[in-house]
Structure 1
Amino acid sequence: MSNAMDGWLAAHARTLDTLDPGAPYEDLEPLRGVLQDVRIVGLGESTHGTREFFRLKHRVLEFLVRETGCTVLAMEASESAAHAVDAYVCHGVGDPVRLIARLGFWTWRTEEMLDIVEWMRAHNRGVPADRRVRFVGIDPQLAADSVAAVGSYLGQVAPERAADLAELEILARARPGSGPDPEQRLLHRARAVAQFLDDHRAKFADLTSPEAVAEAVRHARILCRAADLVTRSLDPGSPQDNVFAVRDRYMAEAVVRLTESGGGRGTDGPVALWAHNGHIAKGVYGNGVPALGSHLRARFGDRYYALGLLFGKGSFRARSADRTQGPGVPHRIGTSLRCLEGRLATAVPGDYYVDLRAADPSAVDARWLREPSAQRSFGAAVPRLTYRFHIAPLTPAEDYDGLAFVSRSSCSRPLADPDAQER
C-alpha cells in the first residue's frame, strides 16, 4: 500500500509555509471549511517536549481565535492552578512565569508556553470582555490552589470547619494513584466540605458575595475529583475504573462544561483542546482505557475534531524514567519506516497537515487510513535506553480526523523558576 498511500498524501497534503506564530496564515485557510461546524478542536502531540509542536499549536490557536471565534484554550494542566493563569491572560494579574510553574507540569514550564500566555494577554487587551480568550486547566490533579482557596473561604465564613481541610492538604501535592484508600476517607471528606458549602450557599452569599461562594464551591468540587483520582488504582486490569480511565473521563467532563452556558463559564465558539495524542485520540489506549477524545466523540460526534501531531526525526525533551525532578533532557531519534511517521516523511517533503475526513472510504489509495499501523508516543518521562522503540498502535482515520506532520523536531526550551512545582 505504500505507493497508494504516497499518492493519496501527495494529493491531499497542505504544505505549512511556517510553524512560527504571528505569521500570515493563508496556508491555514483550508481549516476554515474543515472546522466550520466543529465544537472542539483537539490539538495533540506525540511528545510534550517538541518546540515545533508548541509553535504550530500557538499558530493554530491564533487562527482559531481570529477566524473561528474560539475563546478558550483547554489545557492538559492543573484545573486548580490554571485559574490564576486565566486571571493573568484576562486581567494582567500576577507574574506569568511563576503562574506557569504553578501548573505543576515541567512540560509546560517553557519559553514556548510563556509566548502563548503572553500572546493571549496581548490579544485580550484589545477585545471586549466577552471575547477574551480564557486559559482553562482540565486535569484535577495537583490541587494546591483549591486547598488554599477553600481553606481561606472556610476561615471567613465557618472558622469551626476550617480544620476539615487538614486531611485534604495532601491533595496539594499527591499524584494520581498515590495510594489506595479502601474506606474512601479522603473522597468522603472532600465531598462533605463541598456539600457543606453548597448547603449554606445562600447564607454565605450574604456574608461574602454570590460570586465568592460560587468560587469556593468550584474549588471544593475540584478537590472531590482530585481525591478520587489520587486514591484510584494504577492496575491496568480494570480499564474502566483505574486511574488512567478516571483521569481521562474527568478531563472530558471538564471540556464538556466549557461548551455549556451554565454559570457563565461556557463558550459559544469552538474550544481549543491541548493534550497528548494519546488523550485527544478518538479510540482507546493499548490497555483498553477509553481516551479523552473517545468520550468527546461519543458526546459530540463529528463536532469533535482530533488533530494528531507527529514528527519525522530530531530531538525532544523528556525526563528519564528514573528522574523525578527538574526539566526533561534531550532525547534524539531518527526516521524509521517501522512507524507511520516514516511513511509520512517519505511521501511528502517538509511540514504539512492533512484532513483525513477528505478520504473516500471506497478508494483504494485511502485504504491505509483504515488499516492498523503504529505511531511514536512519548510521555513526560521515557526509559533511558529503550525510548526509541516506544510506539503505540493506531488506525489513522479511526483515531484522528487530521494529522499535522513536522519533518524535524527540536527540544522545547525550559524556563528557569526556582519556585516551580514540578511533575
Structure 2
Amino acid sequence: MTATIRDAARPFSGGALTALLSPAPRLLALGEPTHGVEAFPELRNELFRHLVEHEGYRSIAIESDCLAALVADAYVGDGTGTLDGAMDLGFSHGFGASPANRELLRWMRAYNERRPAPERLRFYGCDAPLEMTGAASPREALTRVHEYLTAARLDLPWSPADLDALLGPDERWTDPCTLMDPARSVGRTPEAGRLRLIADDLGVLLDAHAPDLTEATSPDAFWRASLHARTATGLLRYHAALADAAPGRLGALVSLRDVLMADHLDAVARREARRGPTLVFAHNGHLQRDPSHMEFAGRRLRWWSAGALVSARLGDRYAFAAAAFGSRGADVPGPDTLEGLLSALPHDRCVVDPGRLAAALDRTPPPRVPADHTYAAFDPAATGRTDALVFVREV
C-alpha cells in the first residue's frame, strides 16, 4: 500500500463525501452493492442527517415502490397513520423489515415535528410498482388520476365503469408466471391497448390544464396526480413488454424499469429544485453511469441504468457515489483486487477520491469474483465515471 493510495481516502463522513462533489448536485446518488446488508442503509442514514443539517437537503428517494412511498411520506410529513403502518404499507421489496429504514422514518418524523410545512423533509420511492416476479395492476394508478381530473370537473369521455371493464380482474395483471411465459400476459390484449391510449390521454390532460389544476387543487395534489399518471403509463408499457415473445423481451423489461426510475427521479429533482438537493439510495447497478449487466435465464442482459439516463439529462448536477465492501464472513477479497487494496486502509469506513485513486494505481486491478452471488462487485474500470467511492471494510 503506497502513501498515495492512502492519501486518496478519508474516514467516512458526510462532509468528506460532499467535499468531492463540484458543483453541488441536484441529485446525489448513493449506491449499495447488495440488498439486505444493514451497514449500507445505516451509512445512508448518517449521510442523510449530515446533508439535511449542513447541506440544505430536504428529501430522500430510495429504491422502493413510488406509490407505496406516499404512505411513508404522509407519515413523516404530518404524522398521518403510525410508524408501524408506514413500515408495512410504505415500502416494497421487503424493505419495510429493515431496522435502518424504520430509523430513517422515525428520525424524519421527529425532525418535521419541529418545522413549518415548507421546510419539512419528504420521502420518495423511485422504483415502479414492480417485484422480482411480476408487476402491479395499473388499476390504482389509473383510477387515482381519473378521480383527480373528475374532481377538478374536467369532462372525461371515460367513466370509472369503463376503466373497470377494460381492466378486468387484477389477478390477470399480477400473475407471476407472465415473467417467463408471455402467453399468460394480458399486456397486449385489445383492452390493454385501449388502456394505454387512455393513460396517455390522461397524462396529456394533466399537462394541458396544469395551471388551472394546480390553482384549483394544490401543487401537492397535482404532483400526486402526475405521479399516478406517469406510473400508469409506465406499468402499461411494462405489461406490453411482458406479453412480447421476442428474444429480447427480458432485456426490454429491465430497461423499461430503469427508464421509469429515471423519469421518477427527474420529476423529484424538478419538484425539489426550489427547496434543495435530494439524496437517492438504490443499488449501484441502478445508479451508475455505466450500462448495467445481469445474467438471467441463460441470457446476458445489458441496458442503461437509471443513473446513466438521469446523468444524460442533468449533466454535472447528478453525482454518483458507489459503495463497496471488503470481507463478509468467509468471503474475503483477493489482495490484488480493488476491495483487497482498500481493505488495507486504516479506516473501517472511508470515502475514496476516484481521481486520486486512479492516479495512484499503476494498473487496473482485476475485478473481484465474490463468493456471494448477490454482491455486485465494483468494476475497477468504472472508477473514472464515479464521483466518490464509499468503502466498508467488513460487513
Which residue does the alignment assign to 2:94? 106
Q: Is the 8 A contact 1:85 1:135 kept in 2?
A: yes
Q: Which residue in the other structure is 2:237 paired with?
A: 228
Q: Is 1:10 matched with 2:21?
A: no
- Structure 2 counterparts to residues 27-42 of structure 1, below 5 A: 27-35=13-21, 37=23, 38-42=25-29
* Range moving further from structure 2, 30-39 or 47-56: 30-39
Q: Identify the residue that residue 309 of structure 2 maps to in structure 1.
A: 295
Moved more, 209-218 or 231-240: 231-240
Q: Is the 8 A contact 1:309 1:403 kept in 2?
A: yes
2:331 to 331, 334, 338: 334
8 Å Cα contact 2:48/2:279 also seen in 1: yes
Aligned to 2:83: 96
State the secondary structure of the residue aligned to 1:387: coil
Sequence identity, in percent?
Answer: 24
Q: Which moved more, 1:391-400 or 1:55-64?
A: 391-400
Are 2:31 and 1:53 equivalent residues in the alignment? no
1:109 partner amino acid:
A
Task: Give the gaps of 5 or more residues in structure 1.
Answer: 17-26, 315-331, 378-384, 410-423
Q: 1:39, 1:303 within 8 Å by CA — same for their partners in 2?
A: yes
Query: How far has the Cα of 1:89 moved from its partner?
Result: 0.8
Q: Which moved more, 1:290-299 or 1:179-188?
A: 179-188
- Matching residue of 1:317: none
Supply the AA of the counterpart residue of 1:129: A
Q: TM-score, normalised by structure 2?
A: 0.77
Q: In the alignment, which residue of structure 2 is the partner of 1:273? A: 280
Aligned AA (1:122)? A
Aligned counterparts of 1:236 and 1:298: Cα–Cα separation in 2: 28
- Aligned residue in 2 for 1:134: 122
SS of equivalent to 1:307: strand
Backbone CA RMSD of aligned residues: 3.7
Cα separation, 2, equivalents of 1:313 and 1:235: 42
Q: Deviations over 1:188-208 (max 9, x none)?
A: 404415625864997xx89x9
What SS does the aligned partner of 1:116 have?
helix
1:353: how far off?
Answer: 1.3
Instruction: Indicate if the aligned counterparts of 2:32 and 2:324 stay in contact, CA closer than 8 A.
Output: yes
Mapped partners of 1:341, 1:184: distance in 2: 52
Q: Is residue 257–residue 266 contact of structure 1 (8 Å, CA) maintained in 2?
A: no
Cα deviation, residue 139, structure 1: 1.4
Check whether the contact 1:198–1:217 (CA below 8 A) recurs between aligned residues.
no
Name 2:263's counterpart in structure 1.
253
For the residues of structure 1 that align with 2:69 and 2:173, how far apart are their CA atoms? 14
8 Å contact from structure 2 (residues 202, 229) kept in 1: no
Letter in 2 for 1:110: S
Report the CA distance between 1:117 and its aligned residue. 0.7
Alpha-carbon distance in structure 1 between the residues aligned to 2:178 and 2:356: 41
Q: Relative to structure 2, which stretch is displaced further, 193-202 or 43-52?
A: 193-202
Q: Which residue of 2 aligns with 1:395?
A: 381
Indicate the SS of the match to 1:73. strand
Check whether the contact 2:146–2:202 (CA below 8 A) recurs between aligned residues. Answer: no
User: Residues 308 and 215 from structure 1, CA distance in 2 versus in 1: closer, same or farther, beyond 3 angstroms?
Assistant: closer
What code does the residue aligned with 2:287 have? I
C-alpha change, 1:311 and 1:138, in structure 2 (3 Å) is: same
User: 1:367 and 1:236 mapped to 2: Cα distance?
Assistant: 45
Q: What is residue 298 of structure 2 aligned with on the other side? A: none
Distance 1:170 1:40, change over 3 A: farther
Given that residues 338 and 365 in structure 2 are in contact (C-alpha distance below 8 angstroms), is that contact kept between their aligned partners in structure 1?
no
Offset, 1:209: 5.1
Letter in 1 for 2:73: D
Q: Which residue in 1 is equivalent to 2:296?
A: none
Please state how far the C-alpha of 1:216 moved relative to its aligned partner. 4.0
Whether the aligned pair in 2 keeps the contact of 1:32 and 1:67 (CA below 8 Å) is no
In the TM superposition, residue 185 of structure 1 has moved relative to its aligned partner by: 4.3
**Amino acid in structure 2 at the alignment position of 1:195:** D
Structure 1 residues 108 and 308: CA distance shift in structure 2, 3 A: farther
Provide the rounded CA distance (Å) in 2 between the counterparts of 1:100 and 1:392: 30
**Separation in structure 2 between the aligned mates of residue 155 and residue 88 of structure 1, nearest angstrom:** 27
Structure 1 stretch displaced more, 76-85 or 300-309? 300-309
Residue 186 of structure 1 aligns with an amino acid whose one-letter code is: A
Give yes or no for contact 1:280–1:291 (8 Å, CA) kept in 2. yes
